[in-house]
Structure 1
Amino acid sequence: MTDRAQLVPLVEAFGAARVLVVGDIMLDRFVTGAVERISPEAPIPVLRVEAESAMLGGAGNVLRNLAALGASCRFVGAIGDDEAGREVLALLAEHPTVAPELVVEPGRRTSIKTRFVAGTQQMLRADREDTAPLSATAGEAVVTAVNRSLGECDLVVLSDYGKGVLGGGIAARIIAAAHEAGRRVIVDPKGTDYSRYRGAHLLTPNRAELAQATGMPTATDADIVAAARALIAGCGVDAVLATRSRDGMTLVFADDAHHLPTEAREVFDVSGAGDTVIAAVAAALAVGADLAKAARLANVAAGIVVGKVGTAAAYTAEVVAALHRQDLSSAEAKVLSLPQALDRIAVWRRTGRKVGFTNGCFDLLHPGHVALLAKSRAACDRLVVGLNSDASVGRLKGPERPIQPEAARAAVLASLASVDLVVIFSEDTPLALIEAIKPDVLVKGADYTVETVVGADVVQANGGRVLLIELEPGHSTTATIARMNGKAASPS
């Protein structure tokens, strides 16, 4: 077993991790569209809005990353008594492994960051927020909720975005309570006064934050180590993990340091990578890793998310694949869950790739299938194949089907050069997949008409097209199975 592969059991154990996250949760909104002209009212671009979406931001992104890694977590934070706060609660409810306890402070605005994006370019960000410390009543409620949760967790993460939840001495009180309960605390810090995190096990500033907090240079490896040791000595913490964007990260102790080069093959977006780092470190420490191993796993996870678009998350399967040094073009790495696939597709679209989609049972792969997939791939830059699950095939084809289980069918499909991704779906039709992926090209055999192709209306409404491809004559899975069983195939 290679040195990296020895970390795999830690990742596989993340399901047992119990993490308490305390911090500033936000609502990240995205308004996306196209710019085709300049406003006649002012020299500014006009954004033709095509879509709007929302996701958890700030400490919420830490929660999303912990959920993606399989860890369970409790969350304590604060929101306002407003529509944005209710939207945050609804988004939290989508994560069954997250147990939130949110303090509602009347009169306070829930933090919202709205990004206006044209194509792949962010044009403007508009923030609505209150950054003052919580009221005395709300602050006491946060500390009380933390004390209730300490017995149900392995360690504590403080996700400080400077929006008030951890201000006014709250961070120090939580660290003291955690120490009394025998729980370590790791902190993603904010601001210049890190003394309020005194007693924490680990701080995870990025390069710019480290320079700001210490007033020291952070350009070189030696600079990073010196600045981190100044924090360790001045703030009474055990270690500092400095994230350095494209240069990887450095784990510094008072008497030792480890430089970890970047794991990223291609960097698209570093936003949210710090949240991935602290989530991976927390999950690893919670299942018994030491800081050195936890930092190595976090470096791998960060290398995954910076290759995605936006504030993305790293999934356990992706981390395991990276530890095994599996190339992303290998067959196993092509078979993804829908959330993983959407992350990959977002990267393709950011680089201008046209995404195609087709689907089927593909029970016994024959030349007709191969030809269909090759022609489908020729009509796009990247081809996603939706594969019916075993249960779905059984409902559609009868109790004796499929012949091959879904894992085998997916592996065979993924081995083809014409197939870029395989996503298994359990429904009878791929409509939900098509609605989520929004392919530019939807491909089916010419035995269909456009009107009878599932999802055709969705694709066309999004500006895509439906392509019907002539099938290779003389090839049929049903006929092949009938011949194997010594029976004549039915005309269908």
Structure 2
Amino acid sequence: MSGTGPLVVVGDALLDVDLLGAVERVAPDAPVPVLDVVEEVPRPGGAALAALLAARDGREVVLVTPLGDDEGAQRLRALLAGTVRVVGLPWTGTTAVKTRVRSAGQSLVRIDTGGAPGSVTAVTPEAEQVLQGAGAVLVADYGRGATASEPLRALLAATAVRVPVVWDPHPRGSAPVAGVRLVTPNAAEAAGASGVPGKGVGPAAAQAQELVRRWGATAVSVTLGARGALVSYGDGAPLVVPAPPVACVDPCGAGDRFASAAAGLLADGALPTEAVQGAVAAASAFVAAGGAASVRVDAPAPAAAPPAGGSVAEPTSGSAADVIARVRAAGGTVVATGGCFDLLHAGHVATLEAARALGDCLVVCLNSDDSVRRLKGPERPLQTEDDRARVLGALGCVDAVVVFGEDTPEAVLAELRPDVWAKGGDYAGADLPEARLVQGWGGAAVVLPYLDGRSTTSLVATARRTGTIDLDALAGATRPTTHHSTKQESA
């Protein structure tokens, strides 16, 4: 750990509200869609969202932010209560409220209210004490005046000498103070701040190099959306961290997830390049789960940010719950299927694609390693549950993967309660064992055609006969063993 204190988030807090509904008709008096609102979902926005996401990584988080005494500020405090400690700075402006009107996972219009300009009139002793005891700091600048206060900037500069500071900038905000460990502009922000034109990896490398010099930062990471991120120390070749392919409908909040994950990893002692790798993985998983639209204060916390090695976080029941909540809020249909998926083949893919076409999301219930051994024998599975989940999660037709340890999926189905339970054609002509359970909450169980001649058993038999794959060695790799990390061995 670089510091033993909390992660302190400094910046402009906003209130975000989603009005979710269905559009099924056009207004009789004008050619506009009519939205029947079924739910209002408020959530912290701006620096407050970054603080909430960091807290859901299991960290102690303090938010230092300008707050007035208006209704928006009161709702923000209530949304963060019990999760993030809020330290308000005296503020002459009003809380910005951003309301998105959404249907079927898409935003129809955004309405901004509040947000009257103001200034921080003082840095309170409480805010000074929090920053002096911080283990790391994230500055989430949304260009509304939080970082323009000279006393606060001086305090942040002094803090950057002691602990890692990550600065997430904004075109209308203030330049980072000198000595920041990592600055995280997006491509447009990097081009504007550096004066170096162009888009793509080549221009981003030149922009990051210039910004390291201009801002006096240790490193600058330019986020490139679906292409991942580039990180530069100013000299030498930059590191490009590719993003895993994910289906992205709403990227809102991805920058906050990136910055909060990077700050947390730097607090744990990661290098900037390691922190960026972990942040790319965390932001990709966040977007795949629905982005900011999937964040609900009363929902289960999502999986923590990945370790500093940068591996992509595996799909979990938490991400499945987020996907299902998002689809249901938009009035969509949730489809689930299940199996071992030990050697993924064309028959599996055909069934998964057919299942996804039945609704608006597909959750795969995956047998754990122990479950597969009980069902298939001691030489199976050929691949670990983590590897099987990652391969499945990489398919465009799969929205989430849930691993279950029982021999049958009844327990996980009762938790997920899908609208449709779909199985491959080897069940044709027989009642699905889970049908009665699914029908109990109004769902349906269906059978999908299966490609003839495709099965894991036949693939294994062919491989053994031809010797094309050492299946014994592969199966042995999935059996329980005792592992010692490099750190443990050297301790």
| TM-score normalised per structure 1 | 0.66
Cα gap change, 1:109 to 1:320, in 2 (>3 Å): same
- Conserved 8 A contact 1:29-1:53: yes
Structure 1 position 245, deviation (Å): 0.6
Task: Pick the aligned partner of 2:72 from 81, 84, 105.
Answer: 84
Query: Which residue does 1:235 correspond to in 2?
Result: 215
Per-residue deviation, 1:80: 2.7
Shift of 1:231: 2.1
Summarize deviations over 1:97-135 as a string: whole Å, max 9, x none.
Answer: x32222464x74222111001212211011123252325
Contact 1:185 1:202 in 2 (8 A): yes
Q: Which residue of 2 aligns with 1:153?
A: 134
The SS at the match of 1:306 is helix
SS of alignment partner, residue 117 of structure 1: strand
Distance 1:260 1:316 in 2: 25
**Identity rate of aligned residues, in percent?**
28
1:129 to 2:108 alignment: no
- Which residue of 87, 102, 106 corresponds with 2:88? 102
C-alpha change, 1:273 and 1:348, in structure 2 (3 Å) is same
SS state of the match for residue 140, structure 1? coil
What corresponds to 1:224 in structure 2? 204
Shift of 1:205: 0.5
Uncovered stretches (5+) of structure 1, i.e. residues with no partner: 1-12, 327-332, 359-373, 388-405, 457-464, 470-492
The aligned counterpart of 1:319 is 306
Q: 1:210 aligns with which of 190, 204, 211?
A: 190
Residue in structure 2 matched with residue 48 of structure 1 by the alignment = 36
Counterpart for residue 477 of structure 1: none
> Does the aligned pair in 1 maintain the 2:18–2:41 contact within 8 Å?
yes
**Partner SS state of residue 48, structure 1:** strand
Q: 2:342 matched to 1:354?
A: no
The 5 Å alignment of 1:59-74 reads 59-74=47-62
Matches within 5 A, 1:45-444: 45-95=33-83, 98-103=84-89, 105=91, 108-136=93-121, 139-141=122-124, 144-169=125-150, 171-179=152-160, 182-191=162-171, 195=175, 197-268=177-248, 269-311=250-292, 315-316=302-303, 319=306, 333=314, 336-337=316-317, 339-345=318-324, 354-356=333-335, 382=362, 421=402, 439-441=418-420
Question: CA 1:179–1:128 in structure 2 vs 1: closer, same or farther (change >3 Å)?
Answer: same
Structure 2 unaligned regions, length at least 5: 296-300, 338-351, 376-384, 393-397, 422-431, 447-491
Deviation at 1:173, TM superposition (A): 2.4
C-alpha contact 1:14 1:71 (8 A) present in aligned 2: no
Matched residue SS, 1:65: helix
| Aligned-partner Cα distance in 2 for 1:17–1:123 | 42
Return the alpha-carbon distance in structure 2 between the equivalents of residues 230 and 341 of structure 1: 41
Q: 1:115 to 1:15 in 2, by over 3 A?
A: farther
The answer (yes or no) to whether the contact 1:238–1:253 under 8 Å persists in 2 is yes
Between the aligned partners of 1:150 and 1:321, the Cα distance in structure 2 is 24
TM-score by length of 2: 0.66
2:19 maps to which residue? 31
SS, match of residue 319 in structure 1: coil
How far apart, in 2, do the equivalents of 1:239 and 1:449 lie?
52
**Letter paired with 1:258:** P
Q: How many residue pairs are counted as aligned between the two chains?
A: 390
Retained in 1: the 8 A contact 2:231–2:276? yes
- Tell me how far 1:72 sits from its aligned partner: 1.9
Cα separation, 1, equivalents of 2:437 and 2:255: 48
Contact 2:182 2:221 in 1 (8 A): yes
Deviation of the 1:37 alpha carbon: 2.3
Matched-pair contact (CA < 8 Å) for 1:444–1:467: no
Distance 1:356 1:195, change over 3 A: closer
How many angstroms does 1:239 deviate by? 1.9
Contact kept, 8 Å, 1:309 with 1:350, in 2: the verdict is no
Letter in 2 for 1:54: P
> Which whole-Å CA distance do the structure 1 matches of 2:147 and 2:171 have between them?
12
Shift of 1:71: 2.2
Amino acid at match of 2:255: G
Question: Residue deviations 1:167-191, cap 9 Å, x none?
Answer: 24355223234146x2332210112
Counterpart amino acid of 2:333?
K
With over 3 angstroms needed to count, the CA separation of the structure-2 counterparts of 1:320 and 1:154, relative to structure 1, is: closer
Q: Distance in 2 between matches of 1:350 and 1:216?
A: 43
SS of aligned partner of 1:263: coil
CA contact (8 A) 1:353 1:382 kept: no
SS at match of 1:51: strand
Aligned-partner residue type, residue 227 of structure 1: Q
| C-alpha contact (below 8 Å) 2:136/2:264 kept by paired residues | no
Task: Check whether the contact 1:131–1:162 (CA below 8 A) recurs between aligned residues.
Answer: no
In structure 2, distance between residues paired with 1:430 and 1:94: 31
